[in-house]
Amino acid sequence: MKNNKNILPTPTVFGGCSAGKSNLYIASDGLVYPCLGLAFPELVLGDVKKESVVDIWKKSPLLKKLRNLSVNDFEKCKNCKFKHICGGGCRGTSYFNFKSLTSYDPFQCAYFDI
């Protein structure tokens, strides 16, 4: 990929979700999603048969939203003592469980035993 320094985000120290930051999912039918865990019909970003993946990566409003999310945007997480380690976990798990991109990840909570 040429000139990828202009489209790839700066890596973060405390992980959290990689969707739209260092992760993208292209399904076998050409539809593009923020990641495999966010492959829901209502979250389709585009179609590589109709536009370039670089354009999708650069222009998608949903990817911009995901890139700007912080653990402090997640109601349960913002006061959690593990938030700087966990980062709020997987947005796909949040969406699968609560149909929300800004909820918490119950698997991460179980890991931290809270």
Q: Which residues lie near ligand SF4 (CB under 6 A)? A: 71, 74, 76-77, 80, 82-83, 86, 88-89, 104-105, 108-109, 112, 114
CA distance 78 to 75: 6
CB of 95 to ligand SF4, least distance (A): 13
Q: What is the dihedral of CA 112, 84, 59, 49, to 10 degrees?
A: -30
For ligand SF4, give the closer residue by CB, 98 or 112.
112
For ligand SF4, give the closer residue by CB, 29 or 113.
113
For ligand SF4, give the closer residue by CB, 67 or 76.
76
Query: CA of 105: how far to CAs of 27, 60, 61, 100, in Å?
Result: 24, 24, 23, 11
